[in-house]
Structure 1
Amino acid sequence: MCFGEKFDDDRIDEIAKVQREMMTVVGSGRFVMLSMFPRLGKMLFSNMWKRFEKLRDSKERVMVPIIKSRIEATSAGVDYEVVAYVDTLANLQLPGNEGDNENGGRLSDREMVSLCSEFLTGGTDTTASVLQWIMANLVKHPHIQRMLYEEIVAVVGPPPSPKKGVEGGLVIKEEDLKKMSYLKAVVLEGLRRHPPAHFLLSHKVTKEVEVEGYMFPKGAAINFMVGEMGLDPEVWDEPMEFKPERFLVNEGVFDITGSKGIKMMPFGAGRRICPGSDLALLHLEYFVANLVWYFDWSVADGSEVDLSEKNEFTIVMKNPLRVQISSRVE
C-alpha cells in the first residue's frame, strides 16, 4: 500500500492518468537519449523535455497533498493499522549531517513523489502487462489452459457456482497455490517469453575488465538484454514456443534469482534484484489460477491472438487481448 488510504474514483482516475502519461513519455526511445545524454538530449528533444517537466509538475500537484495529508495525520497521533510506504519515506533519515540539505536530512516533496510514482508503476504496470501476456498464451494454446485447469481442479476441486463463488468471495488461496507446480511453470514461461522490460537499469563498471575478448573501461555504462536472454537458442529449446513444461524438470525447482547461474532474469539478479519479485510471482499465480478456475478463455469472434509487441513503459501487446469468456459452471 503506497499512500495508506482509499480514494474516490475521481482521485484514482487522476492518479492513473498522470502515471500513464508519464510512463508513455519515459518509455519512448527518445527519452532514453534524455536519460543517457541529458545535455544533448535536452537540446535535441526540447519539446519532449518540456512535456516531461509539465507532467512531473502535474504529478506533484496530484500527489503532494496526499502525501502531506498522511504525514500530518500521523504526526497528529492518528494510529493507522497498516504502515504505508509514505510512512517509511517520511521517517527516512538520509546519510550525513542533518544540515547537509535544506530538508534536514529528510526527503524532499519531489523525491517522495518520484519514489511513490516508482512504487505504483513497479507494483502494478509490470504485473498487469505480464498477466495479459500469460492469458494471451493460454488463449492461443487451449491445451495448455486445459492442463492448467485440470491441475487446479485436482488441488481445490471444481469451481463453485458464481453466486457462491465470485459473489461470495470464494477464491483460490495462497496455500493452495503452493501445490500447483504447472501453474508456477506457466507463470515462469510467461516471464521468460514476455519479460515486462527488455532492459534493466544500467550499471557502471568500477574498474577496467575484459569479458570474452571485449574490454570495458572503468566508468563505462553497461546494460543487460533481458529479453534476449530468454530467447537464446543455446540455452532454451525452441525459445519462441510457449512451453511451460520446460520448467517442470528437477521437480519444478528453478532458480529465478540468478544465485545458481543466470538463464533469465526478468527481475534482475544479485543485490539489486527487484524487491517485489516474490510478491509479483504470488500475484501472477493468484490471478491466473482464479481466472482459469472460474472461466474458460477462448478467442473472440472475428479476432485472433496477436503476440506482436509494443514498447511503452513496459513491453505490452501491440494489439490488446480480445477474448470470449464463459463460466465453467453450467
Structure 2
Amino acid sequence: MPHTSFLLLSNLQSFWPSLLVIITCFTITIKTLRYNFIQNYSKKQNPNLPPGPKPWPIVGNLPQMLASKPAYKWIHNLMKQMNTEIACIRLGNAYVIPVTCPTIATEFLRKQDATFASRSFSVATDLITSGYSTTVLVPFGEQWKKMKKIITHDLLSPHKHLWLHDKRTEEADNLMFYVYNKCKMVNDGTYGLVNVRNVARHYCGNLVRKITFNSRYFGEGREDGGPGFEEAEHVDSIFDLLNYVYSFSVSDYMPCLARLDLDGHQKKVKEALRKIKKYHDPIVQQRIKQWNHGLKVDAEDWLDVLISLKDANNNPSLTMEEISAQIIELMLATVDNPSNAFEWALAEMINQPELLRRAVEELDSVVGKDRLVQESDIPKLNYVKACAKEAFRLHPIAPFIPPHVSMSDSVVGNYFIPKGSHVVLSRQELGRNPKVWNEPYKFKPERHLKSDADDVVLTEPNLKFISFGTGRRGCPGVMLGTTMTVMLFARLLHGFTWTAPPNVSTINLSESDDDILLAHPLVAIAQPRLQPKLYQRVNRS
C-alpha cells in the first residue's frame, strides 16, 4: 500500500505541470472570449470602449509596452499621438484605463466613486500587505473597511494628530540641527554642500519612525543628528518598495508567469521587505509582550495604539501580521510626497531667486528671526504652501495614482468601462494639462493664490492635479501629510539661505530616464541665517 501511494504521488507530481498548463490555457481562453464578447458588445452598443491600440491575442499590448519602457512614458506618448485624454490599453487579461482629463477623472472618483473603489491584485502589493491585510493597497471588502476605520479614527484623527505634536516638533528641530552641522563653514571660508534629497527623505523617515516606534534610530544614531547605517538602509528599502508598487509588472497581467519573475520585481520586493522587517519585527514582538504582561499600559505611539485595540469580546483587534503590514504601508504612504516636493521646489526656486526671496520674506514676517517656525504658524504661510502645492502639481512623486478597479460595468465620459478595469489617473499629465493650466511647465506658486484672505490648502478636490486623492480611496492622512510638507518647506527655507553649488549657474531640472524624480539629487549650498542657539542640540532618541 505505501508503494502504491508513492507511485500515485509520483504520477501526480509529474502530471502537475501539464495540468497547470491546461488550466492556464483554459483560463486565458475564457478571458480572451470575454474580451472578444466585450469588443463585440461595445461595437453593437453605444458607447464604445475608450480608444486604444489594437491588442494582440492573449497578451494584449504587453509586447508594445515591454518594447517601450518605461511604461508610463509609452502610455502618455500613446495618448498624445491618439489625441485622447482617456484610453483603453489591454495588458494581458486586464483593461488599463489611463486618464489625463480632470472632468473625466472626477466622474470616476466622485460621481461613480462607489463603483471604482477597489484595487488591483499584484505580486508586489500581495507581498507588502501580507496577503492584503492593510488599507491603501487592499481590494474593496471587509478587511479594507475594518482597517480604514482603524486608520481614520485611531491613528489619523485630529485628536491623535494633536497627541503626536511634540514628536513631530522634535523631528523638525532635529532637521535644523542636522542641516546646520552639514553646512558649517569649512576651512576655505565657504559653506558645505547639502544633499537635499537625502536630508528631506531622512526627515520624513525620522518623523514616521518617531510617531510609530517612539524612536528616531534603530541603532545608535549619529552625533550630528543624521541617519546611521540602519536608518539609511531602512529609508532606502522603503523607496525600493515604492518603485515596485503597481510598476506594470508582466506577472500582474499574466499571473501564469508569476513564478518566473521575468522582470525581477518579486525578488527585489522580497529583499526590501526582508531589510525592513529585520528592524520592525523585533520591536513589534517586544512591544506586544510588554502589553500582554502588563509592563505597558499607556499608549505613546502608533504601535501602542494598534496593539491596544480591542474587539467587542475584549480580544486584540489586530494580529501581529496585520500590525506589521499596516506599519509598512503607513511608512510607504508618508515618506515620499513631502521629500520629493521639497527637493523639486527648492531646485525650481534656486533657479528663480525672486520666488525664494518672497517665501523667506513671508516667513520672516510671520515668524521673525528670533524663533523657529511652529505648526501653529502654518495657517499664515500661504506663499510657502503655494510653493508646496505647485510642486505637487508640476512634479508629482509618481506618474499615476494606484489603480481604481471597477466593480461592475459602467459608462464614464460616454465610454464603456468593463468590470475589472484598472483606472489609473495620471498625476503627471493632469497637473500639466494645457487645457487646464496656463504655462503648465512653469513653476508658478502664485497661480494658487486667489487672494490674500484665502487659506491655501494642498488638496485639489476637482482633480486638476493630485496631491492626496479624493473619494473612498482618498488619503486619510491629509492633515499629517500637509503638516509634514509645510514644516519641511518652512523650516529649511526660514533657517537657511540656499544657493547653487560653485561653478553652477542654474540647477539642472531634467527628470530621470526611469521615473519622474529629479535626474540627479539636488545638492546646494546652505548657509545658516538665524541665531546659532536656534540650531541647538536636540533629543537623540
Q: Does 1:188 align with 2:389?
A: yes
Query: Between Structure 1 and Structure 2, whose CA radius of gyration is higher?
Result: 2
1:46-85 aligned at under 5 Å gives the runs: 47-79=264-296, 82-85=299-302
Match for residue 154 of structure 1? 365
User: Offset of 1:174 from its aligned partner?
Assistant: 2.0
User: Offset of 1:262 from its aligned partner?
Assistant: 2.5
Q: Distance in 1 between matches of 2:334 and 2:241?
A: 19
Q: Does 1:17 align with 2:229?
A: no
Q: Distance in 1 between matches of 2:246 and 2:470?
A: 27
Letter in 2 for 1:231: R
Match for residue 241 of structure 1? 442
Match for residue 335 of structure 2? 124
Q: 1:89 aligns with which of 286, 300, 306?
A: 306
- C-alpha contact (below 8 Å) 1:27/1:311 kept by paired residues: no
Letter in 2 for 1:227: Q
Match for residue 200 of structure 1? 401
Match for residue 473 of structure 2? 272
Query: Taking structure 2 as the reference length, what is the TM-score of the superposition?
Result: 0.52
Which region of structure 1 is more displaced relative to structure 2, 262-271 or 237-246?
262-271
- C-alpha contact (below 8 Å) 1:202/1:223 kept by paired residues: yes
1:294-326 Cα shifts (integer Å, max 9, x gaps): 2211111123412222388x8432111111122
- C-alpha contact (below 8 Å) 1:89/1:107 kept by paired residues: no
User: Offset of 1:35 from its aligned partner?
Assistant: 4.2
Letter in 2 for 1:107: T
- Call closer, same or farther: CA 1:13–1:283 in 2, change over 3 Å: same
Which SS does the other structure have where 1:252 is aligned? coil
Match for residue 306 of structure 1? 508
Q: Distance in 1 between matches of 2:416 and 2:449?
A: 38
1:211-254 Cα shifts (integer Å, max 9, x gaps): 23321112212111112111011111111001111111154356
Which SS does the other structure have where 2:526 is aligned? strand
Which SS does the other structure have where 1:301 is aligned? coil
Letter in 2 for 1:324: I
Match for residue 107 of structure 1? 319
Match for residue 3 of structure 1? 213
- C-alpha contact (below 8 Å) 1:148/1:182 kept by paired residues: yes
Letter in 1 for 2:507: V
- C-alpha contact (below 8 Å) 1:230/1:239 kept by paired residues: yes
- Call closer, same or farther: CA 1:210–1:89 in 2, change over 3 Å: same
Q: Does 1:142 align with 2:343?
A: no
1:166-181 aligned at under 5 Å gives the runs: 170-181=371-382
- C-alpha contact (below 8 Å) 1:195/1:227 kept by paired residues: yes
Which SS does the other structure have where 1:263 is aligned? coil
User: Offset of 1:271 from its aligned partner?
Assistant: 2.4
- C-alpha contact (below 8 Å) 1:191/1:266 kept by paired residues: yes
Q: Does 1:209 align with 2:410?
A: yes
User: Offset of 1:72 from its aligned partner?
Assistant: 1.2
- Call closer, same or farther: CA 1:307–1:39 in 2, change over 3 Å: farther
User: What is the count of residue pairs matched by the alignment?
Assistant: 312
Which SS does the other structure have where 1:323 is aligned? strand
- Call closer, same or farther: CA 1:133–1:126 in 2, change over 3 Å: same
Q: Distance in 1 between matches of 2:476 and 2:456?
A: 18
Which SS does the other structure have where 2:497 is aligned? strand
Letter in 1 for 2:373: I
Q: Distance in 2 between matches of 1:22 and 1:148?
A: 31
Match for residue 163 of structure 1? none
Q: Distance in 2 between matches of 1:31 and 1:39?
A: 18
Letter in 2 for 1:118: E
User: Offset of 1:179 from its aligned partner?
Assistant: 1.5
Give the share of equivalent positions with the same residue, in percent: 26
Q: Distance in 1 between matches of 2:444 and 2:432?
A: 12
- Call closer, same or farther: CA 1:106–1:245 in 2, change over 3 Å: closer
Letter in 2 for 1:135: L
User: Offset of 1:191 from its aligned partner?
Assistant: 1.1
- Call closer, same or farther: CA 1:311–1:32 in 2, change over 3 Å: farther
- Call closer, same or farther: CA 1:216–1:45 in 2, change over 3 Å: same
User: Offset of 1:266 from its aligned partner?
Assistant: 1.6
Q: Distance in 1 between matches of 2:443 and 2:357?
A: 14
Structure 2 residue runs of 5 or longer lacking an equivalent are 1-210, 222-227, 532-541
- C-alpha contact (below 8 Å) 1:229/1:264 kept by paired residues: yes
